[in-house]
Amino acid sequence: MKHNSIHWFRKGLRLHDNPALLAALKDCAEMRPIFILDPWFPKNMKVGINRWRFLIESLKDLDCSLRKMNSRLFIVRGKPVEVFPRLFKEWRVTRLTFEIDTEPYAQLRDSQVAEIAKEHGVEVIRKVSNTLYDTERIILENNGKPPLTYVKLQDLLSRLGPPKKPAPSLKGEDLKGIHTPYTDYHDTEFGIPTLEELGLNPAATGPHLFPGGETEAIRRLGEYMQKSVWVCNFKKPETEPNSLTPSTTVLSPYVKFGCLSVRTFWWKIAEVYHGKKHSSPPVSLHGQLLWREFFYTAGVGIPNFDHMEGNSVCLQVDWDSNEEYLAAWREGRTGYPFIDAIMTQLRTEGWIHHLARHAVACFLTRGDLWISWEEGQKVFEEFLLDADWSLNAGNWQWLSASAFFYQFYRIYSPIAFGKKTDKNGDYIRKYIPILRKFPVDYIYEPWKAPRSIQERAGCIIGKDYPKPIVDHDTVSKKNIQKMKAAYTRRSATSSKSGENCLKGPKKRSLSMANVFTKKISQKTC
């Protein structure tokens, strides 16, 4: 029997390394590739305009690639559980394929869709390709629990061997004899939405630095893989968080949307490494992909992973609720130019360097403002092009020293850290132009400049640019003591309950802090 197939694109917005898409073509007469605009996402997640633009561009690029093969992408609007019964009937569907998605909502949604498919006699094929490995298999190998350290993950993966090689890219010949039924009026019913249709103002988008889509993803990958010396010597902690141009690949948005397969990325790096001396995990490019795997696995295996309460690995902290501080941090007006420049870049461009994320996350939580990491997680979810549920939750717990990383006494200085790689403050001058005329001696601490210098710079602190909302030296010391108390409470609770849980800084795990920070007298960097 020849099948009428639907391939359901979700994160895997690509034609390369898409085994579920290839499965849809086997013994197939008709095939419709679809993407569903699910109202759950804008209702339950913060999605900023720059990420909407990236998604739209990725869908356009995917449709363009399919057109070259005499196929089209069908954009369907509605809840999947309501959409599929109609499509199954109207299109006489016998097979549904899609890539496995591990997020909680996706797992519930997909199980519901699978039940609906069963009721309609539709075969369902699911394939792993959003991660390097099957996360369920990793958890199974670890006696049913997710590994809680990077070293443990490495040990488990060494038993499983290298990731699978990417599946072949879809080619026009693969669609020979397979019909995609579309009409001249296709865009009227199944067209890609515009920002205006989504209720967004295109004028509100930021600089168009990172176009969405598989075509751009493959171009960027090829560009960086040609730099074999750079690839082999890459060490994430040695890249610059405040470079005027990105000091890393900025391929993370393309991996997040599945425009670039993580397995393709892995094996392209492996090709460059072959026969050459190169850096190693956790700091290498391969190491960065393993960090992604680490947090994906944790997100699958730890209930309530994106919340503090009900999260078994997360330190329970009595964070403050200060809307004024949160808004100042979010909007880039804390009075600390390095922090404000990072947050301005985030809001306008949709991407900031990994270590810049460390700095602003520490500032919001345990370093200065003592606000919950869940609030920071929401802001990153809204503005980051590469906002990824598992990585966002995992990294915020890490950076707030709530889980995975326990050296809470290591604090990022909102002054000293930026100076390490940008003594002149050019990054600040770019993103906080009101400060661009300040001398080097005051660009990180403009409130210390004499009034005469502020006047010559055309910026009076407290009027044209805010004074610091907190005194870093004072609050960071107090916050270290608060974190110490939180760890003491957890240790006491664990002892009473007989749990063998992690107990703060005495617990040794592979720590990125050992790599990217240097201990100085006040334990700040």
Cite the annotated binding site for FAD by residue number.
248-252, 288-295, 386-388
Cα-based torsion angle of the residue sequence 222, 213, 98, 165 in order, rounded to the nearest 10 degrees: 0
- 98: its two tokens: 């899609």
Angle ∠(167,172,173) on CA atoms, nearest 5? 85
Angle ∠(129,20,137) on CA atoms, nearest 5? 40
Cβ–Cβ < 8 Å for 40, 47: no
Looking up tokens 């989504």 gives 198
* CA–CA distance, 138 with 159 (Å, rounded to integer): 10
* CA–CA distance, 516 with 206 (Å, rounded to integer): 30
Cβ–Cβ < 8 Å for 345, 352: yes
SS (H, E, C) 178-227: CECCCCCCHHHHHCCCCCCCCCCCHHHCCCCCCCCCHHHHHHHHHHHHCC
Helix residue ranges per DSSP H, 26-178: 40-44, 49-67, 80-90, 104-119, 135-141, 150-160
Looking up tokens 């996360």 gives 135
Cβ–Cβ < 8 Å for 1, 94: yes
Asked if residue 468 has a cis previous peptide bond (ω within 30° of 0), the answer is no
* CA–CA distance, 362 with 417 (Å, rounded to integer): 12
Distances (CA, A) of 468 to 341, 342, 355, 382, 472: 14, 16, 22, 25, 9
**Of 170, 167, 168, 268, residue with least CA distance to 217:** 268
List binding-site positions.
248-252, 288-295, 386-388
- 447: its two tokens: 């409130």
Length of the chain: 525
Instruction: Tell me if residue 445 falls in helix, strand or coil.
Output: coil
366-396 core/surface letters (b: 16 or more CB in 10 A; e: else): bbbbbbbbbbbbbbbbbbbbbbbbbbbbbbb
Strand-pair partners of 503? none
Read off φ and ψ for residue 311, nearest 5 degrees: -105, 110
